[in-house]
């Protein structure tokens, strides 16, 4: 079964790709056999797009898809939305901005919910990305929720991480500064047609200046994604950064992240949230630490 499914994925069967992602999401029995059969080498480049809510990440992703299509590339897109704490479904689901690409044979878009993950990513994002890689995409774009400093997880997955900000985001930078400087390969100041955009860019440069002592300068690109302005320049900068990537460091970070999540998941496999809910209700638990003594 799994070998046939893998062959269909590699042959470009979109239905098989979508089905495989669902099987992994739902941890269908035996899905690990599929993961073990995946090829270990790939030409795909992974672009992470992150930043605070409202920065225009989806619009920028849509514009970037258009630029890649002009380059005759095959693109896979994973859009991670925040999820409901009650049913773990996506709260935003705002993929309407990318609707023009759904019937394009060279574009595959999949929305994922975080399902309670605190790092802005789906708990099975590494496995799902590996399946996407097997499908032979030239580029895989991963758009994350935008949750702040805990979003450093994307740095272990993406070859290049793009952090999207807006001119009004001065306070956001202050609260996210440490995490941003760790993960950003490129900064994008979106909606740069707004007042004080140039002042914001200059302030961002000054804020990042201390980080330049031991590392290469982080590029800052101004865009107006809704009008496709600055997007081709951004793509040029992304390509340049991809050529500079230290593959060995990224590989080790990625493998460590994968191992951590897999081990974490296996250790937690006997802990069920529904069971916890029933125990809390049946025992009228008010002090959660008394319940934790049983684990």
pLDDT at 262: 72
Length of the chain equals 295
Same domain, 176 and 220: yes
Domain count, the chain: 2
Q: Which has the minimum average pLDDT: 41-45, 150-154, 251-255? A: 150-154
Q: In whole angstroms, what is the distance from residue 11 CA to residue 128 CA? A: 17
Same domain, 1 and 81: no
Q: Label residue 183 by pLDDT band (50, 70, 90).
A: confident
Is 175 inside any structural domain? Answer: yes
Same domain, 64 and 181: yes
Is 273 inside any structural domain? Answer: no
pTM (2 decimals)? Answer: 0.81
Q: Render pLDDT for 184-240 as a digit per residue (tens, 0 to 9).
A: 889 999 999 998 899 989 988 888 776 555 567 889 999 999 999 999 999 999 999
Residue 251 has pLDDT above 70, yes or no: no
Same domain, 214 and 228: yes
Residue 75 has pLDDT above 50, yes or no: yes
Is 176 inside any structural domain? Answer: yes
Same domain, 81 and 52: yes
CATH number at residue 86: 3.40.50.300
| Domain carrying residue 12 | 1-38
pLDDT, averaged across the chain? 79
Mean pLDDT of 262-282: 79
Helices 197-208 & 170-183 angle (0-180, nearest 10): 40
Same domain, 138 and 229: yes
Is 239 inside any structural domain? Answer: yes
């Amino acid at each position: 079964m799994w070998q046939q499914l893998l062959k269909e994925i590699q042959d470009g069967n979109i239905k098989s790709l979508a089905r495989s992602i669902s099987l992994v999401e739902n941890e269908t029995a035996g899905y690990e056999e599929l993961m073990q059969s995946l090829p270990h080498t790939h030409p795909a480049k992974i672009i992470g797009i992150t930043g605070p809510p409202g920065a225009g990440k989806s619009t920028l992703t849509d514009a970037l898809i258009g630029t890649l299509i002009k380059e005759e590339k095959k693109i896979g897109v994973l859009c991670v939305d925040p999820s409901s704490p009650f049913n773990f479904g996506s709260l935003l689901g705002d993929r309407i901005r990318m609707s023009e690409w759904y019937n394009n044979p060279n574009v595959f878009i999949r929305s994922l919910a975080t399902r309670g993950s605190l790092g802005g990513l789906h708990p099975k994002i590494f496995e799902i990305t590996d399946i996407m890689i097997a499908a032979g995409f030239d580029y895989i774009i991963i758009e994350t929720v935008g949750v702040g400093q805990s979003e450093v997880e994307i740095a272990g997955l993406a070859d290049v991480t793009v952090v999207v900000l807006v001119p009004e985001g001065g306070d956001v930078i202050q609260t996210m500064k440490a995490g941003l400087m760790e993960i950003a390969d490129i900064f994008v100041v979106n909606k740069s047609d707004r007042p004080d955009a140039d002042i914001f860019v200059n302030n961002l440069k000054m804020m990042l200046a201390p980080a330049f002592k031991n590392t290469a300068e982080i590029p800052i690109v101004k865009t107006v994604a809704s009008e496709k302005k600055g997007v081709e320049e951004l793509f040029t900068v992304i390509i340049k950064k991809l050529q500079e990537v230290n593959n060995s460091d990224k590989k080790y970070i990625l493998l460590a992240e994968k191992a951590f999540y897999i081990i974490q998941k296996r250790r937690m496999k006997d802990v069920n949230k529904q069971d916890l809910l029933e125990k809390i209700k049946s025992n009228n638990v008010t002090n959660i630490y008394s319940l934790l003594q049983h684990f």
